[in-house]
Amino acid sequence: MKKYALVLLLAAALPGAIMADHHEAKKVDVENYTCKEIMILDGSDREIAIAFLHGYLIGKSKLSEYDPQKKGEETDKFIDSCLDHPTAKAIKVLADSA
């Protein structure tokens, strides 16, 4: 149960972290986040954003299990690719890192 609570907490935090400068926005499409928008976040905000994206992809795949070590490796690939391609859609880069 604690894992699900953490995922919900992370999901609630991402839109606020990314949209801090966009108060007028009412709806956010997670598939439109760019790598730059994720990478400019500080420390734990970036970690939360990436965890949210992982959770989003896991949810879309309808899986309920994942390998934390593999997700860590995917995160490393994601960060490297995002640094090289800041205008790329973050969700596609993460999906391609799998």
Q: How far apart are CA 17 and CA 13, in angstroms?
A: 6
Is a pLDDT exceeding 50 seen at residue 8? no
Residue 5's pLDDT is what?
Answer: 40
Residue 34 sits in a domain whose CATH number is 1.10.890.10
Residue 34's pLDDT is what?
Answer: 97
- Closest by CA to 89, choosing from 8, 25, 7, 29, is 29
- Gap between the terminal Cα atoms of the chain: 26
Q: How far apart are CA 3 and CA 82, in angstroms?
A: 27
Is the pTM higher than 0.85? Answer: no
Domain extent at residue 79 = 2-96
Task: Return the structure tokens found at 17.
Answer: 């972290």
Q: Domains in the chain: how many in total?
A: 1
Helix ranges restricted to H, the chain: 2-18, 35-39, 43-60, 68-84, 90-96
Mean model confidence pLDDT for the chain: 83
pLDDT digits (tens, 9 = 90+) for 17-38: 555 555 566 787 899 999 999 9
